[in-house]
Amino acid sequence: MNTENKGVLVIYTGGTIGSMPKDPNDTASPQVVVDWNDFLDRTSVLKEGLGYRLGFAKLSVALDSCDIGPEHWTEMAEIIENNYDDYEGFVILHGTDTMVYTASALSFMLANLAKPVVLTGSQRTHLFQARNDGLQNTITSLSIANPKATGIPVIPEVMICFGTDLLRGNRSKKKDANGYIAYESPKYPNLAKIGANIEVNEARILPIPDGAFFVRKNLELNVIDFNVFPGVVHNGVADLLFDSKSFTPKGAVVRAYGAGNIPTDEKFLARLANASQNDPKVTMINVTQCTQGRVELGLYETSNKLLAFGMVSGTDLTPEAAMVKLMVGLADEDLQYDQVGLRNFLQTNQAGEQSTSIYEMPFPTPAANLSSGKPRFRFPADRDLPGTWEPSELEGVQLRLYGAKVTGPAEDEALEIDVYANLSSNEEPSGPESTKFAGRFRKAPTADASIISFDVTAATRRLFRPGQRSSFSLILASEKGDLEWQRAELGLFVKE
Ligand code: ASP
């Protein structure tokens, strides 16, 4: 076993932790960030060390984190890349205002990370204030970044260490502008509780990855954060953002209400639909404005329309994580906007940032319909079932028909459709007792084309595994009526 302790690389970026009053004779004068030499000179714990090796690096200019952006994330990622093998872990001293963005961005940029990267800062600095949280936060972060020295488990993640909390960076939110407990992770448990001891919640930390560490350095800057609010449909802001000659975003985070809903005003929706489908295409990802819970596109009529025009589901991503995931995904030339590309990258878990991954598998069949003259239709897959999952991890599986219209056997009478899984084309369906039976569904007549889904979770759990070929068959159970559609896909929701 290699017992050499390589120590920690401390990366200084500025922030309150590195700030002093502009006028040294007036402690009430506005604070400004000091340069690295000044910082080190006044930080005895870094100068004298903690009994193991410390290395130091810095951003080319120390900044208040309000001025930190994608170019600085790349700088930080490159520092880690260049020093990756030489240290046990990394501590980034950073301002609190945009720490969540930096932590989220680095979590996607540092792919297959096997070492701790800990971001910390302070609400009061130790540089000139005796009562401060900067020193404690720095020392605790060093302990987490050097598991060999402290005996705690290796946490191979980008984290935020602040006050009594150790949080997954891409799950964090800044919740307090002044308090010493400044961050929270509302949708994922804390990675550790920090007190006299550092109690790591081992069940919740990411596993050490199998693949080799690499860095994604490019970021798409042409993105916007679009918050819907009551009245947004009347003020022209959607036209300005999505139909302007001078500004054409490549991506947009759409902060929606509740489970992913936005106003249904036709002009407004059409503006978003055009921007999302026509060139130059804007990739839109939907997140919730709520602190808890997740987006479930298709749950309500209002969000079904978004799914129909290609909105990416952000499930329970924080808006900050969604924004930087979009920046990273859009800048990656290998990802195309199709099933295996950008959409897949955005909707599946990359670094513990979301609780559910969504895999979509389109069926290669053309537009078709089901009627008494043609009561049976089979969707055979032309590719293997995506993802890695155990049947118990499948939260849901939907067979979705896009551009679908239902005509009932009589006005206001629902159409009944049986769905089977894995039925070969010449095999007779053998009824509800058969293991291949996925259910009988009643679908109300529709006025316009929309998305019709069939919940095929139980049959998928029973019959299919990732990597297998699947097929689904629809059989009209009503004597009359009609179901027509444009295209079909399978949507798999997998618990992470
Ligand atoms: N404006 C400061 C920054 O983010 C606030 C802080 O560090 O607490 O750099």
Distance from the alpha carbon of residue 15 to the mean position of ligand 1, in angstroms: 5
Instruction: Show the ligand 1 pocket: residues with CB < 6 angstroms.
Output: 15-16, 64-66, 95-97, 121, 123
Q: How confident is the model at residue 220 (pLDDT cuts 50, 70, 90)?
A: very high
pLDDT at 1 (0 to 100): 54
Among 36-40, 267-271, 337-341, 449-453, where is mean pLDDT lowest? 337-341
What's the confidence (pLDDT) of residue 383? 94
**Is 46 in the same domain as 169?**
yes
Say which CATH number the domain at 474 has: 2.60.120
Q: Are residues 16 and 132 both part of a single domain? A: yes
Sequence-separated (6 or more) residues with CB below 8 Å from residue 24: none
- Number of structural domains (the chain) is 3
Q: Is 125 among the domain residues?
A: yes
CB 389 within 8 A of CB 438: no
Last-in-domain residue among 296, 331, 353? 353
Burial of 461 (0-12, 13-18, 19+ CB in 10 A): middle
Between CA 322 and CA 319 the distance in angstroms is: 5
Check whether 426 has a pLDDT greater than 80.
Answer: yes
The pLDDT of residue 380: 97
Q: Is the pLDDT of residue 231 over 70?
A: yes
Residue with tokens 């298709």: 298
pLDDT confidence band for 372 (50 / 70 / 90)? very high
- Say whether 16 is catalytic: yes
Residue 111 lies in a domain: yes
Please indicate, yes or no, whether residues 465 and 368 belong to a single structural domain of this protein. Answer: yes
What global pTM score does this model have?
A: 0.95
Q: How far apart are CA 346 and CA 338, in angstroms?
A: 11
Per-residue model confidence as pLDDT tens digits over 311-334? 999 999 999 999 999 999 999 988
In this structure, the answer to whether residues 398 and 436 fall within a common structural domain is yes
pLDDT band at 467; cut points 50, 70, 90: very high
Domain boundary among 174, 193, 215: 215
Q: What's the pLDDT band for 18 if we cut at 50, 70, 90? A: very high
Name the residue type at position 29. S
Confidence (pLDDT) at 247: 84
Q: What is the mean pLDDT of the chain?
A: 95
Range of the domain at 314: 218-353
Q: 363-367: long-range contacts (C-beta < 8 A, 24 or more apart)?
A: 363/472, 363/487, 363/488, 363/489, 363/490, 365/487, 365/488, 367/403, 367/484, 367/485, 367/486, 367/487
% of the chain at pLDDT higher than 90? 91
What's the 123 CA to ligand 1 centre distance in angstroms? 8
Does residue 382 register a pLDDT over 60? Answer: yes
Give the residue whose CA is nearest to atom 7 of ligand 1: 95
Q: Are residue 263 and residue 360 in the same domain, yes or no?
A: no
CATH number at residue 320: 3.40.50.40
CA distance 68 to 425: 59
> Does any domain span residue 3?
no
Per-residue pLDDT, 337: 55
Q: How many residues does the chain have?
A: 496
Pocket perturbation via mutation, ligand 1, pick of 61, 97, 129 by most ligand atoms within 8 A of CB: 97
pLDDT tier, 304 (very low <50, low <70, confident <90, very high otherwise): confident
Q: Are 34 and 18 in contact (CB under 8 A)?
A: yes
Average pLDDT over residues 200-218: 97
The confidence band for 365, taking pLDDT boundaries of 50, 70 and 90, is very high
45 and 159 both lie in a single domain:
yes
Residue of 96, 102, 162 best suited for mutating to test ligand 1, as the one with most atoms within 8 Å of CB? 96
Atom index in ligand 1 nearest the CA of residue 33 equals 9
* Non-local CB neighbours of 405 within 8 Å, separated by 6+ positions: 446, 448, 449, 450, 482, 483, 484, 485
Q: Residue 463: inside a domain, yes or no?
A: yes
Are 365 and 342 in the same domain?
A: no
- pLDDT value of position 41: 97
Mean pLDDT of 451-472: 96
Question: How does 198-223 read in b/e, with b if 16+ C-beta sit within 10 Å?
Answer: bebeeeebbeeeeeebebbeebbeeb
3-state secondary structure (DSSP) of residue 330: helix
pLDDT band, very low/low/confident/very high, at 297 (cuts 50, 70, 90): confident
Q: Across the chain, how many H-helices and E-strands are there? A: 12, 28
302 has a pLDDT exceeding 80: no
Q: How far is the CA of 17 from the centre of ligand 1 (A)?
A: 8
> Rounded distance, CA 478 to CA 337, Å?
39
Taking Cα atoms as reference points, which of 280, 305, 164, 147 lies closest to residue 222?
A: 280
Dump the DSSP string for 369-385. EEETTB-EEEEE-SSPP
Q: Which of 336, 353, 370 is the last residue of a domain?
A: 353
What pLDDT was estimated at residue 320? 98
* Residue 280, pLDDT score: 85
pLDDT digits (tens, 9 = 90+) for 136-187: 999 999 999 999 999 999 999 999 999 999 999 999 999 999 999 999 999 9
Range of weakest confidence among 64-68, 240-244, 356-360, 426-430: 240-244
Residue 14 Cα to ligand 1 midpoint, Å, equals 8
Q: Is 1 part of a structural domain of the chain?
A: no
Residue 2 lies in a domain: no
Q: What is the mean pLDDT of residues 60-66?
A: 97
Over range 106-115, report the average pLDDT.
98
Least confident among 227-241, 292-306, 426-440: 292-306
Residues 290 and 422 in one domain: no
Are 336 and 438 found together in one domain?
A: no
User: Choosing from 13, 16, 348, 457, which is the catalytic residue?
Assistant: 16
Which CATH number characterizes residue 176's domain? 3.40.50.1170
Same domain, yes or no, for 120 and 81? yes
Strand partners, 81: none
Return the pLDDT at 335: 80
pLDDT class for 245, splitting at 50, 70, 90?
A: confident
Percent of the chain with pLDDT over 70: 99
466 located within any domain: yes
pLDDT reported for residue 334: 82
Shared domain for 248 and 183, answered yes or no, is no
Say yes or no to pLDDT of 437 above 80: yes
Q: Is the pLDDT of residue 338 over 70?
A: no
Question: How far apart, in whole angstroms, are the C-alpha atoms of residue 482 and residue 342?
Answer: 35
| Residue 157 and residue 288 share a domain | no
